[in-house]
Amino acid sequence: MPHILVTGGSRGIGRAICELFAERRWNVSYLYKTNETIKSGNIFPIRCDVSLPDEVFDSVKSAEERFGNIDVLVNAAGISINGLSTDYSFEDYRHVMDTNFGGLFNTTRAVIPQMVHNKSGIIIAISSMWGKTGASCESLYSASKGAVDAYVRSLAKELGPSGIRVNAVSPGCIDTDMMKCYSSEDKDALIEETPLSRIGNPSDVAETVYYLASEKASFITGQIIGVNGGFLI
Ligand code: NDP
């Protein structure tokens, strides 16, 4: 069975990705920071803070020991801190950048050598539409996702000749814990602004990731695919 490693697989979008791939007979390893939430014969949880390079290297090793080479890496681990740019601390900056961009940097650094050796592999980052358009009071988050997009495009150029595809899925508003800070009025306003008139589900993102990981997407690399109901076109 093919092997996918998902960061942030314990909740929200990452969890939906783990469950979808496991259901479709993949071996799934996932990284979580605080709570292990799902586990079965083909789902292997690993505690790991993605912002710490040594932990990431050890976790990738454990995943490979459990299920063999990693065919697909998905980076879903992410955090957001709302606030005015002038209120953010240096620690906020490090926390957001080291998790959202650093997590991608650390995990890709850990899996790329083996993918290059095999001349195959698929990397999919979960970005955000705010990385493209910028969000007021989420400037650190937006900047971290802008870095994700640029890194994905660069890696795609660097790794294409080695048979590795690199893409990002860039969600709009998706119903997970990350949206808990929004009131129902805020959510209604977001729905109003969305041409398809709804908030997205984690499965909307998971199905797009599944497509990008499949042979059907074999000519797609370096793309940032929006899954946002038309919120940002
Ligand atoms: P959730 O808050 O529901 O889940 C976040 C996940 O990331 C959890 O599994 C959490 O693990 C994990 N995580 C956070 N920090 C770390 C860390 N340092 N090391 C390892 N794991 C960590 O978020 P979503 O599912 O909504 O978000 C998933 C991705 O999608 C994020 O990158 C987010 O930016 C992006 N996104 C989300 C949108 C939305 O509207 N929901 C919109 C656009 C993009 P644990 O449970 O152990 O803390």
- Rounded to 5 degrees, what are φ and ψ at 163? 80, 20
Q: With DSSP H G I counted as helix, E B as strand and the rest as coil, what are the percentages for the chain, rounded to 5?
A: 45, 20, 35
Index of the ligand 1 atom closest to the CA of residue 15:
9
Q: Is residue 47 part of a domain?
A: yes
Distance CA 63, CA 4 (A): 9
pLDDT tens per residue, range 58-99: 999 999 999 999 999 999 999 999 999 999 999 999 999 999
- Stated as kind and residue range, the H or E segment containing 85 is none
Vertex 197: Cα angle to 196 and 202 (nearest 5): 80
Domain containing 180 equals 3-227
Q: How far is the CA of 145 from the centre of ligand 1 (A)?
A: 13
pTM, to two decimals: 0.98
Q: Is residue 30 among the annotated active site residues?
A: no
| Atom 24 of ligand 1, residue of closest alpha carbon | 12
Q: Report if residue 8 sits inside a domain.
A: yes
Asked if the structure places residue 233 within a domain, the reply is no
Q: Is there an atom of ligand 1 within 6 Å of 176 CB?
A: yes
Catalytic residue among 30, 88, 93, 141: 141
Over residues 107-133, the pLDDT tens digits come to 999 999 999 999 999 999 999 999 999
Q: Specify the CATH number for the domain of residue 19.
A: 3.40.50.720
Residue 34 lies in a domain: yes
Please report whether residue 103 resides in a domain: yes
CA 4 – CA 29 distance, rounded (Å)? 6
Query: Is any ligand 1 atom within 6 A of the Cβ of residue 130?
Result: no
Rama region for 174: left / alpha / beta (φ>0; ψ in -120 to 50; rest): beta
Ligand 1 site, residue 75, Cβ cutoff 6 A:
no
Pocket test for ligand 1, best of 11, 48, 101 (most atoms within 8 A of CB): 11
Judge if the beta carbon of residue 164 lies within 6 A of ligand 1: no
The tally of CA atoms less than 13 A away on the side-chain side of residue 73 is: 30
Cβ within 8 Å of residue 206, ≥6 positions away: 13, 16, 17, 19, 20
Residue 142 forms part of a structural domain: yes
User: Can you spell out the DSSP letters for 148-175?
Assistant: HHHHHHHHHHHHGGGTEEEEEEEE-SB-
Other CB atoms within 10 Å distance of the CB of residue 117: 11
Would residue 232 count as lying in a domain? no
- Number of domains the chain contains: 1
Inter-residue long-range contacts of 132-141, CB under 8 Å, 24+ positions, other chains counted: 132/170, 132/224, 132/232, 133/232, 137/82, 137/83, 137/84, 138/80, 138/82, 139/85, 139/88, 140/81, 140/85, 140/88, 140/92, 140/93, 140/96, 140/97, 141/79, 141/80, 141/81, 141/96, 141/100
Residue 114 lies in a domain: yes
User: Tens digit of pLDDT per residue, the chain (233 long)?
Assistant: 999 999 999 999 999 999 999 999 999 999 999 999 999 999 999 999 999 999 999 999 999 999 999 999 999 999 999 999 999 999 999 999 999 999 999 999 999 999 999 999 999 999 999 999 999 999 999 999 999 999 999 999 999 999 999 999 999 999 999 999 899 999 999 999 999 999 999 999 999 999 999 999 999 999 999 999 999 99
Separation of 161 CA from ligand 1 center, angstroms? Answer: 31
